[in-house]
């Protein structure tokens, strides 16, 4: 791992890469202690600040954690689901916000992913998950609920649908997708009219899961996608009126 060819790229980036490779390849295992900063500086023949920059890069990716004091140091970190969730959401959010993604594409991806979970959720949905969904539906029907709160509840509902599949890997993968698209979806829920229709479809989905009828859930989800797409296009059209723009939108 100590190799460091004499190319002219950032030393700290090269060192970070060497250590990252060692971790990903399994040469260093979870909770293993890295050499101290001073020792690493020696090994790589660089100064301590350079080593520190490399370590901060790894820390930013949750690959290592550091502990101060005697017998402290940098340790290979076990990447938890929570940390991975967070990174996933940040990355997905930035990807969507920085690149002109058409509403259609984002919407399609979101519902395609959710449909992947629906059969599993219908088979396994726990009483807990169902209760969450019912509670969110009830909340969405409250008069005077702000747009932000409605959207947050919408996200919570869809997350429950995903979590209902009882597969943590799926939940991890989809959390980013669903949460990152919230700002996009926010735009289309500002009328009381659309809320009613959305709530009705949410109820149908919850009913279908409760009845263990995946096809019915799938159908309701498809209708929700079509309705969302329809509303989204209306909003886009209104937005772009007089601007002559296409469907591309910066969220």
Partner DNA sequence: GAAAATAAAATGTCAGACAATTAAATGTAT
Partner DNA sequence: ATACATTTAATTGTCTGACATTTTATTTTC
Sites of contact with a second copy (CB under 8 A):
12-13, 16, 20, 23-24, 26, 30, 49, 52-54, 56-61, 63, 78-81, 84, 87-88, 90-99, 101, 105-106, 108-109, 112-113, 115-117, 120, 165, 167-170, 172-174, 176-177
Q: Which is nearer to DNA, 51 or 198 (CB)?
A: 51
Residue 31 interacts with DNA (CB under 7 A): yes or no: no
Structure tokens at 11: 């030393």
**CA proximity to 191, closest of 152, 225, 229, 150:** 150
Residue 10 interacts with DNA (CB under 7 A): yes or no: yes
DSSP assignment string, 234-251 = HHHHHHHTTTT--S----
Q: Which of DNA, a second copy, none lies near 235, with the C-beta cut-off 5 to 8 A by kind?
A: none
Q: Which is nearer to a second copy, 88 or 189 (CB)?
A: 88
First to last CA, the chain: 43
Q: Which is nearer to a second copy, 127 or 169 (CB)?
A: 169
Give the angle subtended at the CA of 102 by the CAs of 241 and 95, to the nearest 5°.
130
DSSP assignment string, 142-173 = -TT--HHHHHHHHHHHHHHHHHTT--HHHHHH
Q: Which of residues 33-52 bind DNA (CB under 7 A)?
A: 34, 36-38, 45-50, 52
**CA proximity to 60, closest of 40, 90, 31:** 90
Q: Which of residues 69-108 bind DNA (CB under 7 A)?
A: 69-74
Residue 66 interacts with DNA (CB under 7 A): yes or no: yes
Q: Sign of the CA dihedral 151, 157, 160, 162?
A: negative
Tokens 């309701």 belong to: 220
Q: Which of DNA, a second copy, none lies near 197, with the C-beta cut-off 5 to 8 A by kind?
A: none
Q: Which is nearer to DNA, 72 or 246 (CB)?
A: 72
Enumerate binding residues for DNA (CB under 7 A): 8, 10-12, 34, 36-38, 45-50, 52-53, 55, 66-74
């Amino acid at each position: 791992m100590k190799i460091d060819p004499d190319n002219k790229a950032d030393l700290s980036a090269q060192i970070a890469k060497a250590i990252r490779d060692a971790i990903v390849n399994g040469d260093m295992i979870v909770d293993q202690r890295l050499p101290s900063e001073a020792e690493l500086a020696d090994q790589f023949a660089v100064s301590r600040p350079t080593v520190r920059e490399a370590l901060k890069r790894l820390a930013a990716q949750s690959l290592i954690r550091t502990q101060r004091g005697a017998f402290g140091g940098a340790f290979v970190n076990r990447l938890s689901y929570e940390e991975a969730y967070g990174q996933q959401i940040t990355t997905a959010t930035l990807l969507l916000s920085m690149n002109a993604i058409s509403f259609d594409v984002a919407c399609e991806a979101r519902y395609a992913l959710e449909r992947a979970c629906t059969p599993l959720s219908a088979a396994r949905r726990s009483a807990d998950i169902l209760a969450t969904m019912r509670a969110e539906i009830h909340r969405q029907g409250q008069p005077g609920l702000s747009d932000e709160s409605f959207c947050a509840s919408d996200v919570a509902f869809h997350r429950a649908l995903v979590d209902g599949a009882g597969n943590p890997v799926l939940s991890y993968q989809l959390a980013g997708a669903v949460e990152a698209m919230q700002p996009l979806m926010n735009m289309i829920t500002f009328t009381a009219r659309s809320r009613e229709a959305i709530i009705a479809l949410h109820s149908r989905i919850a009913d279908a899961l409760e009845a263990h009828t995946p096809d019915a859930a799938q159908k309701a989800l498809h209708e929700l996608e079509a309705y969302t797409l329809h509303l989204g296009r209306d909003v886009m059209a209104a937005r772009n009126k007089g601007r002559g723009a296409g469907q591309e939108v910066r969220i």
